[in-house]
Amino acid sequence: MFGFFKRKSLEDDLRENPNQPEKWLKLAEENEKKAPEALVNALIFSRGELVEQVAKLLKNLAVYRELEPLIPKIEDELGKEYASFFAGMIEEYKGNLQRARNLYDVSRNSPNGVLSFLSAYRIASIYEKEGLEELAYKTLRDLEGSVPESYRLEFSVKKRELEEKLGLRGSKLFRSFKEGLKKTREALGLSSFRGRTVDEVFFEELEERLILADVGVRTTMDLIDYLRQEAKKRKIKSSDELLGLLKERLREILLNCRGELNLSEKPSVILVLGVNGVGKTTTIGKLAKQLKDSGLSVVLAAADTFRAAAIEQLEVWAERAGVRIVKGQEGTDPAAVVFDAIQSVKAKGDDVLIVDTAGRLHNKERLMKEIHKIKRVIGREFPGQPAEILLVLDANTGQNAVSQARAFKEITDVTGIALTKLDGTAKGGIVVAICNDLRVPIKLVGIGEGIEDLRKFDPEEFVEALFEGG
Ligand SMILES: Nc1nc2c(ncn2[C@@H]2O[C@H](COP(=O)(O)OP(=O)(O)O)[C@@H](O)[C@H]2O)c(=O)[nH]1
Ligand SMILES: [Mg+2]
């Protein structure tokens, strides 16, 4: 009705009034070309208050190279501690660990406690990468009193890992599912529902908890309705019995979503989709390594050609996994890169081709065209492929992940979901919502940034982890 009042765009808004740090963050999320400048503005206009959020987004978007020329600006506005920290992140990304460590040593002296913590935490992580576990551990120990709330879990997991490596604890080298789901388990707090009478308050509280853990409104309603019915039907008075039923029900729901990657043809093509920062490239890297270790020859196609850094990042993973990569220049037509990759697979007779893509969902029309074009090229050269269209979702985004999945399902058939970053999120209940609402198999879950941190989704294990200790 008011069509003539064109909604002011975020950029126009910021041009008029740049002093809106949170909005700069938002712009960085929405527009990857503008991201470096927007991140710096978020930092500057918040006078450094948003350093943690900016660092996190920088890591998600991996726009390190584009940020580099802006370091002097950070220094002019906020001083050398802030500039050194971000310069350190850039050097760390490039693999210059020693140089990064020196830069973090400077930012560590910042009067901003968060910046100082982040710097020291990065230093510990570099020590660990360098194999200096004892130093890493000592650095963490010194930080114990100053861990910001949002880092508590990550911090304790890291500390524990180091304790295991140093033999200070029983050995268990990889992060278990159980550990990864700790925050979700706490959000659910199912143990506090034990030994209670089953009454209205009980149902209401349980409902609230499920929603808090991002199980989703609809799915929660279904679950609670089911429990109410059963309680009535079977005259259940003890909450323990009811929790048993809840566990059963969750297991049933999740078993419907179990699925494995379909790699039966030679070659099999896996097309990987998802919005920026959800973990596509990382997941591809981990998957490539696992497939290679199981004896398959794997090729990666760098069809996220939007930014040079995205191509570079996939190259780093290809190297780590020890697989071949086919790439083009920044800005090349993604379908052309895929075509080249296919020719390479044909020539060498590889088993699996994994295609990385850019996921700019805010330009849906264009994204749809791009995906369809890539699919056409694949289908023409390898009939019946891609066998897998894998949608990557970030568990941290909670219900937003469900909306993303809906949007992608409108664009194309999705054959499976890879749910990343289940480690350290309190929103792990999203697994249940994804499963119940979308009915797409969850084929992989990411529980860390390391090359080994990708697992098949095991519903039994997942449910056990949610109820553990409760
Ligand atoms: N903690 C954690 N971080 C992850 C996981 N998967 C990816 N990441 C991180 O998420 C960020 C974005 O990943 P990236 O693969 O570049 O996302 P893309 O834009 O979808 O390709 C990087 O910093 C990754 O290290 C995971 O399972 N757990
Ligand atoms: Mg990527």
- pLDDT (0 to 100) of residue 450: 84
For ligand 1, whether the C-beta of 247 sits within 6 Å is no
| CA 317 to ligand 1 centroid distance, Å | 12
For ligand 1, whether the C-beta of 277 sits within 6 Å is yes
φ/ψ of residue 298, rounded to 5: -120, 140
Spatial separation of the C-alpha atoms in residues 414 and 253, rounded to whole Å: 19
Atom of ligand 1 nearest to the CA of 454: 27
For ligand 1, whether the C-beta of 175 sits within 6 Å is no
- pLDDT (0 to 100) of residue 360: 78
- Residue with CA nearest ligand 1 atom 25: 449
**Above 60 in pLDDT, residue 64?**
yes
Encode pLDDT of 208-236 as tens digits: 999 989 999 999 999 999 999 999 999 99
**Above 80 in pLDDT, residue 179?**
no
Encode pLDDT of 120-159 as tens digits: 999 999 999 888 888 999 999 999 888 988 787 778 778 8
Which range, of 55-59, 386-390, 463-467, averages the lowest pLDDT? Answer: 463-467
Buried b (16+ CB within 10 A) or exposed e, 89-109: bbbbbeeeeeebbebbebbbe
Which spans in 10-151 are helix H?
10-16, 21-30, 35-45, 51-61, 64-67, 71-78, 80-94, 97-107, 113-129, 133-143
Strand residues in 157-315 grouped as ranges (E): 268-273, 298-303
| C-beta separation of 350 from 298 below 8 A | yes
**Above 50 in pLDDT, residue 470?**
no
Which range, of 31-35, 157-161, 388-392, averages the lowest pLDDT? Answer: 157-161
- pLDDT (0 to 100) of residue 80: 97
Atom of ligand 1 nearest to the CA of 447: 27
| C-beta separation of 230 from 414 below 8 A | no
Which range, of 152-161, 169-178, 223-232, 404-413, averages the lowest pLDDT? Answer: 169-178
What percentage of the chain has pLDDT greater than the value 70?
96
**Above 50 in pLDDT, residue 28?**
yes
Encode pLDDT of 87-102 as tens digits: 999 999 989 999 999 9
For ligand 1, whether the C-beta of 278 sits within 6 Å is yes
| C-beta separation of 197 from 184 below 8 A | no
Closest listed residue to residue 390, CA positions, set 416, 427, 408: 416
Upstream peptide bond of 267 is cis (omega within 30 degrees of 0): yes
- Residue with CA nearest ligand 1 atom 11: 60
On the CB side of 147, CA atoms within 13 Å amount to: 19
Tell me the pLDDT of the chain averaged across its residues: 91
Sign of CA dihedral 454, 459, 460, 462: positive
Pocket test for ligand 1, best of 282, 287, 311, 422 (most atoms within 8 A of CB): 282
Sign of CA dihedral 406, 180, 388, 32: positive
**Above 70 in pLDDT, residue 176?**
no
**Above 80 in pLDDT, residue 167?**
no
- pLDDT (0 to 100) of residue 169: 60
- pLDDT (0 to 100) of residue 385: 97
| CA 335 to ligand 1 centroid distance, Å | 24
| CA 282 to ligand 1 centroid distance, Å | 5
For ligand 1, whether the C-beta of 397 sits within 6 Å is no
| CA 311 to ligand 2 centroid distance, Å | 8
For ligand 1, whether the C-beta of 448 sits within 6 Å is yes
Encode pLDDT of 326-357 as tens digits: 999 999 999 999 999 999 999 999 999 999 99
| Average confidence (pLDDT) over 36-55 | 97
| Cβ neighbours for 376, distance < 8 A, ≥ 6 positions apart | 335
| Average confidence (pLDDT) over 258-282 | 94
| CA 351 to ligand 2 centroid distance, Å | 22
| Cβ neighbours for 179, distance < 8 A, ≥ 6 positions apart | 157, 160, 423
For ligand 1, whether the C-beta of 274 sits within 6 Å is yes
| Average confidence (pLDDT) over 229-253 | 92
Spatial separation of the C-alpha atoms in residues 191 and 107, rounded to whole Å: 42
Angle CA(105)–CA(108)–CA(111) in degrees, nearest 5? 145
